[in-house]
Structure formats: C-alpha cells, structure tokens
Amino acid sequence: MRLKYGDLIIIAVILLAAILMIIPKKSNGEQVILTCDGEEIAVFDLNKNTEYTFHGSYENKLIIENGYAFISESDCPDKVCVRSKKISKSGETICCLPNKMMLTVVSIKIKTDVISK
Amino acid sequence: MTEKIAKCGVFAAIAIVISSLERLIPLQAVVPLPGIKLGLSNCVILFVLIQFGFLSALSVLLIKCTVTSVLFSGISSLVFSLSGGFLALCGMYLLLQFKKLFSVYGISVCGAALHNIGQVAAAAVMLGSIYIFEYLPVMLFISIITGMITGGISDIIGRRLKGYRG
C-alpha cells in the first residue's frame, strides 16, 4: 500500500459527501406512491394494510403492513425489489429497474402545482 | 497502430471475461442494492488507460459494456453501465494528469464512486424521479471499499508488469 496525499483527500471527500447526504433526519411517512417510468400509478395509505399487484413488463406484488411497505413477490429477473428493506420513512424507496417501477414514501403529499402557482 | 488495436481487443476480451466471472460473486445477496458489484473489470480499463491512453480505454469500455449487456443483463442495463463507466473513465483520466498527487488507489476509488454516481443519475433519468438518490450515500461508502480492492489489484498488476510497454 503506497497511498499518497491525494488518495486520502479523495476518500475524505467521498465519505463527507455520503455523510452529508445521510444527515437530514427522516420523518415517518404517511403515504406510498407507486410510479412507473415517472408516471404516477397509485397512492396508498401506509397505515392501512393492503395488497396490490402492479402489472408492468413484470409483476410486482406490493404489501403494506403495519406502516411498512415492501414487495413480497416479483417475476422480474434480478429480484432486487424483493430483497430490498421494508420502507416506512419519508424519502425511502424500493425500485424494480427491470419493471421501471418505483415505490416512494412521502410524509404529506404535496402537489407540484401549488408551487408553480 | 494495428498492434494497439489488437492489444485493445485482447484487453476488451479480458474485461468481458472478468465481468462475467464477477457475476458469480453474490454481492447483491449481502447488500441488496441495484447495481452493486466489485467492478473488477475497472482494473482492466484503468490499466489500458495508463498504458494506451484515453481513446483506447474508451473503446475497451464500449466493447465491454455492449457485449456484457447483450450477453447477460439485457439492453436496458447498457445505459447504466455506459453512463457510469464513461463518467468513471473521465474522472480517472483527469486524476491521471496529476500522478504526483494520486496513486492508483485514489484513482480507483474515485472511478468506483463516479461509476455509482453515473449509474444513479441514469436511473433517476430513466425512472423520472430524484428519490433514487437515496441510494447514493450507501453506494458511495461501498465504492470506497470496492475501489480500494480494485486499486490494490491494479497496484499489483502495475508492479508485476513494470517493464511492460504497450
């Protein structure tokens, strides 16, 4: 190992950037938004237990249970969505890239047209 | 020139073999994040970049990404690996201009981090959402580790092939 000063700077900068991105505290989420290819498909209440199957190029089975949302089954090739952690805090996501499906937890749903008014 | 093309072809083949072997390492089972991998083929790209220059490394990268995505993961992953790979290559090329400051470890870590940033950015564009940047901090932490591993391998390769001139 022959590290030079610049290497330590690079590692420090990356660490700092990662820590800065984590720091903003997460609040508990209220709703889960399901999007496909950027388009909103459905909105779910996190406090209501539900099941929903999303049919895209593949099928993702979404389950909402005790304030947590997760994908229980999927026939996509990589299964990253099924292995992802359960989400409950605002900003947390589960995505299934093969299906272009994404779940996002939000605290209160803010409509974008309020801002652009 | 012809010799350079032939050698780049050989290195492209090595990169393809390495990244297909790398798929046997079940890193995604440990860290369930999309696109997590060791990035061992980055050693090859880095070696070509040092020995032959930017354009050769770019061509090896293009061949490697196209072939691996056609063979294994489908065309949609080509966007991710190309955007990440290209950003990483540009960053590593920049750092190579300051050889006194950076060793192969730093260059490799920077390449790994930029690869992840490029991938996440491509995913954000594809999914039309910025929330996917949520993954980035974890991926950056991991890229320091994987970057050090690939940097170590590049360091060993560099020392073994000290007399070698492309």
Q: What is the mean pLDDT of each run of 10 residues along chain B (166 residues)?
A: 89 92 77 73 91 93 92 81 93 92 92 92 81 82 91 89 66
Q: What is the DSSP letter of A61?
A: E
The CATH superfamily assigned to A31-115 is N-utilization substance G protein NusG, insert domain (2.60.320.10)
pLDDT above 50: residue A72: yes
What percentage of chain A exceeds 90 in pLDDT? Answer: 9
Taking CA atoms, what residue in B is nearest to A15? B141
Q: Is A116 exposed, middle or buried (0-12, 13-18, 19+ CB in 10 A)?
A: exposed
Please give the Cα distance from B27 to B35 (Å, whole number): 10
Paired tokens of A36: 């496909």
Per-residue pLDDT at B48: 92
pLDDT above 90: residue A83: no
Strands (E), A5-114: 31-36, 39-45, 50-55, 59-65, 68-74, 93-96, 101-106
Poorest-confidence range of A19-28, A93-102, B84-93? A19-28
Give B-chain residues touching A98 at CB under 8 angstroms: 74, 76
Q: List B residues 95-134 in contact with A (Cβ-Cβ < 8 A).
A: 95, 98, 100-103, 105-106, 109-110, 113, 123, 126-129, 131-134
pLDDT above 60: residue A109: no
- Collapsing DSSP to helix, strand or coil, B38 comes out as coil
Contact B95 A6 (CB under 8 A): yes
Give A-chain residues touching B143 at CB under 8 angstroms: 14
A17 at B interface, C-beta within 8 A: yes
Q: What are phi and psi of B31, to 5 degrees?
A: -120, 100
Taking CA atoms, what residue in A is nearest to B135? A93
Contact A4 B137 (CB under 8 A): no
Q: What is the mean pLDDT of residues A23-39?
A: 78
Please give the Cα distance from B59 to B41 (Å, whole number): 14
Top-ranked range on mean pLDDT: pick from A8-22, A24-38, B22-36: A8-22
pLDDT band at A114 (very low <50, low <70, confident <90, very high): very low
Chosen for mutation from B71, B107, B129, B136 (greatest number of chain A CBs closer than 10 Å) is B129
Between A and B, how many CB-CB pairs are < 8 A?
Answer: 108
Per-residue pLDDT at B165: 59
pLDDT band at A107 (very low <50, low <70, confident <90, very high): confident
Paired tokens of B75: 């065309």
Domains of chain B, CATH where assigned: 2-160 (1.10.1760.20)
pLDDT band at A24 (very low <50, low <70, confident <90, very high): low
pLDDT band at A108 (very low <50, low <70, confident <90, very high): low
**C-alpha distances in Å from residue B151, one per residue of A28, A35, B71, B82, B98:** 40, 38, 27, 21, 17
Q: What is the mean pLDDT of residues A82-94?
A: 86
Nearest to B109 among A11, A35, A95 (CB): A11
Higher pLDDT, A48 or B64: B64
Q: What are phi and psi of B6, to 5 degrees?
A: -60, -45
List the alpha helices (DSSP H) in chain B: 2-22, 27-30, 41-52, 54-68, 76-96, 104-127, 136-160
List the alpha helices (DSSP H) in B69-103: 76-96
pLDDT above 50: residue A115: no
